[in-house]
Structure 1
Amino acid sequence: MINEALQRLLIENLTTATLLLDARLRLQYMNPAAEMLLAVSGQRSHGQFISELFTESAEALAALRQAVDQAHPFTKREATLTSVSGQTLTVDYAVTPILTRRETLLLLEVLPRDRLLRISKEEAQLSNQETTRMLVRGLAHEIKNPLGGIRGAAQLLARELPEEQLRDYTEVIIEEADRLRNLVDRMLGSNKLPSLGMTNIHEVLEHVASLIEAESQGRIIMARDYDPSIPEVLADREQLIQAVLNIMRNAMQALTTQTEMGLARLSLRTRTLRQFTIGHVRHRLVARIEIIDNGPGIPGELQNTLFYPMVSGRPDGTGLGLAIAQNIISQHQGLIECESHPGHTAFSIFLPLEQGTGA
């Protein structure tokens, strides 16, 4: 027989959000998965009416009351809930009445559809990035080999030229060959493995924020919303700085296109997420770093290819900044996501706080 303590332990480690309501539809218990989904504390929310946790239609409340009165279970697909924090969630949930001597309780099992869709999107994104990386590496190999021959031939030719002024032409060939080689190297990214050490992500963010504030000369309002409980992460500090700087510099450049620079705002936010899946690996604890700007947004036609090399929304852009940032975060077993519409662009960096371990 499984004792009560083990039963509670099992429920608390479920990835399915589970809530227990009394006959008056007031919360008696929620597991950590439900706390994370609804962004509330189960202890503080104890005794609250269900509408104080999330809102849905009047028909849904009537169905819950009917489930209490008739002890009739039911399931609802693709319901839209709004949490107290204002987040809109698409979920499936099952309601099971539990008959006790005193009253009928309701067990709610909530499965977020948004999360499943996000995981599928992430898997496709990671697969596309790996395919693109292999394509770029193959293309780079084909480019660098003849570039070396062209550069060497230009150097030999320069030695044989009778007039000094003719060497200007060979110098152009050599300089352009070097420029193309450097461009290919940037597309490939660093081949050096991360030099891992315990890193404070808030120190990284503040370091980059100081650089952006200096570059923008105070024309952008910087806002911070940090979670001080986030522990240090095992990471390469210099590479993290580069990844964050690439994203924040893009945001700064987008904000400079606004006519009213006094309203330009760049926000930094950090949070922890529990039992979070990146690709095929579920991590017990993940740090989420959000870089949010109120700029014009990213054009819809670019959003699906945003992290590909040479894709840029600016005429003078190289299209390498975000590709390099994604490559750095991938080396840290993490992921970057982007959500954008006019007036709101949010880049989210997810970093496992337990490197190399997955549940």
Structure 2
Amino acid sequence: MSKYPIQSSISEQILEQLTLAVVLVDRDIRVIFANQQAATIFGQTRKKLISQQLLRLPIKHSFPEGLFEQLWSSQQSFSDHEVEWFFIDGRHVISEVNADLVMVDGAPACLLQIRDNDNLRRINSENAHKHHISASRHLIRGLAHEIKNPLGGIRGAAQLLSRSLDSDELREYTQMIIDQSDRLKELVDRLLGPNTPPKRSATNIHSILERVCNLVQIELTHHINIKKDYDPSLPEILVDSNQIEQALLNIVQNALYAASQDSHRNAHELGAVTIKTRFEASKILHGNTFKKVIKISIIDNGPGISEQIKSTLFYPMITDKPDGNGLGLSISQRLIDQHKGVIEVDSWPGHTEFSIYLPIQEAEQNHNG
């Protein structure tokens, strides 16, 4: 590993052109230089970053700070390809970090190169999930059809048997077979999911969200604070309002359940769910770039999603609810997929955010097309 001086005038001009964040810190891990990309990642102006303790800027991080001593003592560089930064404004950044020892005015300093890999990670994750979900759907669809056929036979046989029985007590058993067969058929139908294309019409997303809020208010068993943060300037979008309502209802119900789990919170802190809408420009969805997108965020302050199910969260039958069947999120994703949208999730203890992106399409263009 080489030591080299930094010539400020030329170097700063070069560093400002880079698309990665460059930060210099001293032995106390205080910032002595940061380029504009670093200021963007850490949510501060360049001037404010100077002299601040770098690792106190986020509210939480996974930076391998113990390796600094190794850098100072043995001049050994280090890198980490998945450092997480959690900021007070709700941002969660996953980055690649490389650290090298450099000399600045004759004193040792650490040169950090921080590359925000969030977009690439999301695209890779989306592609992997798409393939895995597609494979699981084909498997479940095949199994569901194989189950429905003998299930119909069992139900029919129980009905015929019931008619030939004289004992009411025995008929109770055949009725139990019929009831359980119906329950299994309903479960299989839910596994198969909606098989009709969306019936689109121009809809205000806030009217759908209000219906969802009215529905969940009726079912609330805990005192949960539901906050609404709507952007009233959002245009109508062409969606099947019933399908989008079902998709959002499943996610909001999960958020309310998570917010009711208060074992990780202070006694005075209430469960809260925030429903937020925003406009986003130029978003890639399913490999296509849409110039105008609506973003719906459903945020709860529950304990966060268990690490055991994070990677398989949208798979059918995956749940951490004691009485859940694990179908809600799978159905929601399928419905959003049918509208060319995507669902993204960011979660850590005290904060889980489901972001639903739906493309804005002009009604005239679609009706004419």
Q: TM-score, normalized by length of structure 2?
A: 0.67
Q: Secondary structure at the match of 1:304?
A: helix
- How far apart are the structure 2 equivalents of 1:304 and 1:202? 30
Q: Secondary structure at the match of 2:186?
A: helix
Name 2:305's counterpart in structure 1. Answer: 298
Name 1:345's counterpart in structure 2. Answer: 352
Does residue 174 in structure 1 map to residue 178 in structure 2? yes
CA contact (8 A) 1:284 1:354 kept: no
Q: Secondary structure at the match of 2:323?
A: coil
| Distance change in 2, residues 1:88/1:128 (3 Å) | closer
| Distance change in 2, residues 1:277/1:79 (3 Å) | same
Q: Secondary structure at the match of 1:223?
A: strand
Does residue 307 in structure 1 map to residue 314 in structure 2? yes
Does residue 230 in structure 1 map to residue 234 in structure 2? yes
Q: Secondary structure at the match of 1:184?
A: helix
Does residue 213 in structure 1 map to residue 217 in structure 2? yes
- How far apart are the structure 1 equivalents of 2:143 and 2:253? 28
Once the two structures are TM-superposed, the CA of residue 115 in structure 1 deviates from its matched residue by 0.9
Deviates more, 1:211-220 or 1:225-234: 211-220
- How far apart are the structure 2 equivalents of 1:167 and 1:257? 43
Q: Calculate percent identity across the aligned residue pairs.
A: 44
Does residue 126 in structure 1 map to residue 126 in structure 2? no
Letter in 2 for 1:199: T
| Distance change in 2, residues 1:217/1:178 (3 Å) | closer
Name 2:169's counterpart in structure 1. Answer: 165
> How many aligned positions are there?
282
1:26-37 → structure 2 map (5 Å cutoff): none
Letter in 2 for 1:288: K
Deviations 1:60-84 (A, max 9, x none): xxxxxxxxxxxxxxxxxx9999999
CA contact (8 A) 1:309 1:323 kept: yes
Deviations 1:301-354 (A, max 9, x none): 011111111111011111111111111111111111211111001111111112
Once the two structures are TM-superposed, the CA of residue 90 in structure 1 deviates from its matched residue by 6.4
CA contact (8 A) 2:222 2:260 kept: no
Unaligned runs of 5+ in 2: 1-9, 14-34, 51-80, 97-113
Unaligned runs of 5+ in 1: 1-22, 27-48, 59-77, 93-109
Name 1:256's counterpart in structure 2. Answer: 260
Counterpart among 265, 269, 277 of residue 270 in structure 1: 277
- How far apart are the structure 2 equivalents of 1:341 and 1:182? 34
Letter in 2 for 1:181: K
Name 1:203's counterpart in structure 2. Answer: 207
Name 1:336's counterpart in structure 2. Answer: 343
Deviations 1:142-179 (A, max 9, x none): 10000011111111222222434322221111111111
Name 1:115's counterpart in structure 2. Answer: 119
Q: TM-score, normalized by length of structure 1?
A: 0.69
